[in-house]
Chains A and B, each alone.
Chain A
Amino acid sequence: MRFEASVLLLMLACSKTPEPTPVVRATSTPVNAIPGHESLREDTTHKEGPRLMVAETYMRSYLAIFGGLSPLDSQAALVGAGATRDNNLFDRWADYLAALGMPDYKSDIDRSAQTNALMVAAFERTGIALCDRAVENDLRGSRPVDQRIVFAFEGGPEVASDTAFATRFDIVHRTFLGYPAELAPTTNRTSKFYNLYKQAKANQTAPDAGRFRLTADEAAWAAVCYALIRHPEFHFY
């Protein structure tokens, strides 16, 4: 910080006259010449920060995952029949555009290049709507597995073992993050999501949980789903 530095300089200036210091010139040393680094490879790769997916890409990805509907058709499906102000899962895309970071050329509002808390809230709001509807579409009724867009796995939503979860989770993981769950760079991702699954299931059936529209298994898969569409690796690339 410049201010601190200036104060420190001031302090030095007020102390006794410093002895003349011999000039020490830094010399370049190859990394493998430093003791202990003989076998260490030098990282010369170019580094970039992750890129934030633009709002249009978020919307297109969202719509593709939701089944390829148009924004207005998806909006109608996400809102659902019989929605009231108190139980609506979704409002209008137009209500979320600015929070998602979309530019407005008419008003000369630039696109948002960084995430912010309201954007994260918009990801959650839209993500929950997508996942809850996907649960209804894929896990209820008799839609064949190969026609399911998000939960394209055999068997019902109920998971009896961690292996069964892992198999199913991998499919959903690939859907959102684009790679197999086993390659995840974070620790024990599948286990962590299985814990989430179990916790969500328990929350849904807790005595004080009230009445919810989704069954425990449905709610648990919905939670897994919206954890993935809100995941840092979904939004950054």
Chain B
Amino acid sequence: MKPRFDAFVVGMFLALAISAPSDAARSLQDYRYFRSLSIDMQGRVPTRTELTDFERTDFDVDNWVESKLSTSGYEDRIRRIYLDPLRPALSTIFPFVTSVVLRRHSIQVEGGTTANVYWRNGQRRKRDSTDGIFCLGEADTGLKFPRTGNPTGTAKPVTKAILDQYTVKVKPWWLYRDYASSAPKDLYSATTWATKYPNFAPHPALLTEADGSATTEIRVCKEEAQTAESGTIYKSGRTTTTTPADRIVPLAGDTNFAITNVGKPIYCASDTAVTNSADCGCGVGLERCSPGANNGFDPSGFVLPTKAPLGVTLPVDVGSTAQSEWTRFWWSQEVYEFIARLAREDRDFREILTSPSTVINGPLAQFYKSYQGSTCCGQGASFGYSEPQSLFDRANVPTDLLPHDTTTWKVVSDRGPNAAGILTMPIFLAKYGSRRARAHAIYGTFLCRQFVAESVELTPSTEPDLTKRPGCSTCHATLEPMSAYFARVRESDWTFLPKENFPVLETKRCNRSTPASDCRSYYDPAFTSDAGAMLLGAYASQTNADLGPRGFAEATVADPAFAECIVSTVASSFLGRIMVTDDATRLSTWKTALTSGGFRMRALIREILKSDAYRNANNLNSTLWRKEEGP
């Protein structure tokens, strides 16, 4: 009988260095094992050259496996285990369309030319005819402009003087690498940038003028072109909302926030600033805004991979996408890179939930620096919340990453005090929009538990507390306190609600006797009494609400089920089957391997790959086994 690569003895492999004797011929099982290792560790079948190496007498499988533990194939393998249940990608069902979007109108100009003019919805302007909408009005163009879509009326050419009065020319970030310089020169080139900055490709319509010539600078409304980091709060003096004859979009009266805070400084990278300050623009090179090639709700913006199962550097399909896809696309990649880093550096796997760090590239740096505040702060301004406190502190965003740096990924060691692994990444918060969905996703993926109330009868009840309500309590007694950890992160959003502005129990503005109209956006009427109003989602655990996502992360990794779940999930992926009762011993051994080394994934993977369960996934029936093994 030929020497066997895989003796059918439990644990024997652990003691064997796989260096075949000099006359060894590999058995079929040996080859199958090597092929399995290649599939799992390299993501492909072995090449003939690798087989030849494997057949050499001095080939050491242990060393081979060890060398593969630091490759991209291994990162990919580990990442897939968690991407499959988390599915961190979003379709247009989550439209990231905020005040960062620059749309454009094509305007007839005297002399018979057409100009594309970029603008953003909601931009405050001191002309009533254009405040909050496009910067050229009916008197200038003969047209009335809606918030999105085509204008109405009979167009007349705008004079050059008017055009120059209300618009300016800018060399924006999507056309120039050195957009921040005083005289940008490094113009976008489809041929050279494709190599230097893969996957950075503005939509063709952003690169061409109406006359067909190449775009080298764009015309944008003057207010949007402003570059200051902060502006001042503007008050128009209007007390009511009206719709003047030259507009189709109503002209709003001043908000209480504007009236109360007029003249005070405001940080420009927030929606509150856009809608309350006439001197907050899109920043240097328009870096706080996202370009759109038309006047639609979510205009075309970039050409991006639309299908990339092997990673964004190896797309299988590339196409024009709406501007919002640019942001959603890179949000996904943050999770991909974050998990890959955990695998690459063999970091404590608990960091997937607890780490304050992340990995970002240029587009993500731009988002965290300039876009993330665009969903803040809405009616929060009434609570004194007008400058976003982010889950990712913009002060910690690397300053040397430019939007074009698609392949340069930098570690940010500390995003800020509220950051926690994937839990505070926009893709997770948007994919799992509600507090309960967020808690449920983590509960299932990292504790391997499900909420199932098989046959509980639901009876009518007026009890608003789902931890008590008959039938509901079966699941919600657990779920509600967990979802409370997310009470300070707005639903379908990443805006953080700080304690200073939003105490868990609000006693001044939102209590039952004197409710303010904007209370319902933040406080739960079902849990409001004369004593105060409860922050939305916090009723089941005020403590958890204040602990936030980081508290949830700490509680989850401290749960004994966390390690068991990791081991079970990873083993299930490598063995290709569900773990069953018979696996208890090996799962326990593997759990020790994982935890004793500080939750290092490589220790677990080594044990699995060397185990009899993995090696002997032979699937041979007993008759054949006896024949192969001999008497």
Contacts and interface: CB of A to CB of B under 8 A. Distances in A.
Interface in A166-205: 171, 174-180, 183-185
A123 B598 CA distance: 42
A158 B56 CA distance: 31
B626 interface: yes
A43 B38 CA distance: 28
A237 B317 contact: no
Interface stretch (B86-94, B170-178, B244-252): B86-94
B577 interface: yes
A176 B45 contact: yes
B32 A237 contact: yes
B332 to A, nearest CB: 8
Contacts of A54: 80
B41 to A, nearest CB: 11
A216 B359 CA distance: 55
B317 A93 contact: yes
A61 B89 CA distance: 25
B316 A61 contact: no
A22 interface: no
B45 A61 contact: yes
Nearest to A113: B576
Interface residues of B, number: 53
Interface in A23-76: 39-41, 43, 45-57, 59-61, 63-65, 70-72, 75
Nearest to A47: B619
A70 B314 contact: yes
A110 interface: yes
Contact of B612 (A46, A53, A56, A105): A46
Given A46-B613, A48-B577, A64 B44 contact: yes
Interface in A128-184: 152, 171, 174-180, 183-184
A72 B316 contact: yes
B39 interface: yes
Contact of B316 (A92, A105, A107): A92
B543 interface: no
Contacts of A185: 28, 624
Contacts, number: 134
A62 B441 CA distance: 34
Nearest to B47: A64
A64 B39 CA distance: 12
Nearest to B34: A178
Contact of B310 (A60, A152, A184): A60
Contact of B84 (A111, A171, A174): A111
B612 A41 contact: no
B87 A48 contact: no
Given A49-B576, A97-B316, A178-B34, A108 B87 contact: yes
Given A57-B44, A183-B31, A51 B576 contact: yes
A43 B630 CA distance: 12
A51 B36 CA distance: 9
Contacts of B631: 39, 41
A45 B90 contact: no
Contacts of B314: 70-71
A174 B51 contact: yes
A60 to B, nearest CB: 4
A113 to B, nearest CB: 8
Contacts of A53: 39
Given A49-B577, A105-B83, A105-B87, A60 B44 contact: yes
B160 interface: no
A178 B39 CA distance: 11
A34 to B, nearest CB: 14
Contacts of B45: 57, 61, 64-65, 176, 178, 234
Contacts of B332: 105
B340 to A, nearest CB: 14
Interface residues of A, number: 53
Contacts of A39: 631
Contacts of B146: none
Contacts of B577: 48-49
B574 to A, nearest CB: 9
A1 interface: no
Contacts of B306: 94
B151 interface: no
Contacts of A176: 45
Most chain B beta-carbon contacts within 10 A, residue among A46, A57, A71, A103? A46
A97 to B, nearest CB: 6
A53 to B, nearest CB: 6
Contact of A97 (B46, B309, B613): B309
B307 interface: yes
A70 B47 CA distance: 17
A178 B34 CA distance: 8
A45 B473 CA distance: 45
Nearest to A94: B317
Nearest to B37: A237
A45 B625 contact: yes
A234 B8 CA distance: 24
A106 interface: yes
A72 B35 contact: no
Contact of A48 (B47, B51, B316, B576): B576
Contacts of A77: none
A40 B626 contact: yes
A98 B353 CA distance: 31
Interface string B271-295: 0000000000000000000000000
A50 B619 contact: yes
B84 A103 contact: yes
A89 interface: no
B618 interface: yes
B36 A48 contact: no
Contacts of A45: 8, 612, 616, 618, 625
B84 A57 contact: no
A143 to B, nearest CB: 16
A96 to B, nearest CB: 9
Contacts of B31: 178-180, 183
Contacts of A178: 31-32, 34-35, 38, 45-46, 51
Contact of B91 (A97, A102, A107): A107
Given A41-B629, A72-B318, A97 B28 contact: no
A195 to B, nearest CB: 23
Interface string B593-631: 000000000000000000011001111001011100101
A111 B629 CA distance: 37
B27 interface: yes
A108 B32 CA distance: 33
B309 A152 contact: no
A33 B155 CA distance: 100
B615 to A, nearest CB: 10
Contacts of B613: 46, 48
B91 A106 contact: yes
Contacts of A55: 309
A93 B307 CA distance: 9
Nearest to B615: A46
A152 B318 CA distance: 34
A27 B28 CA distance: 38
A195 B381 CA distance: 80
B43 interface: yes
A43 B576 contact: no
Contacts of A179: 26, 28, 31-32, 35, 51
Given A72-B316, A105-B88, A176-B45, 9 more contacts: A45-B8, A46-B612, A56-B43, A56-B309, A64-B45, A72-B315, A105-B332, A185-B28, A234-B45
8 contacts: A41-B626, A51-B36, A51-B575, A57-B43, A61-B45, A175-B47, A176-B45, A184-B28
Closest 6 CB pairs of A and B: A51-B576, A179-B31, A105-B89, A93-B316, A105-B87, A178-B35
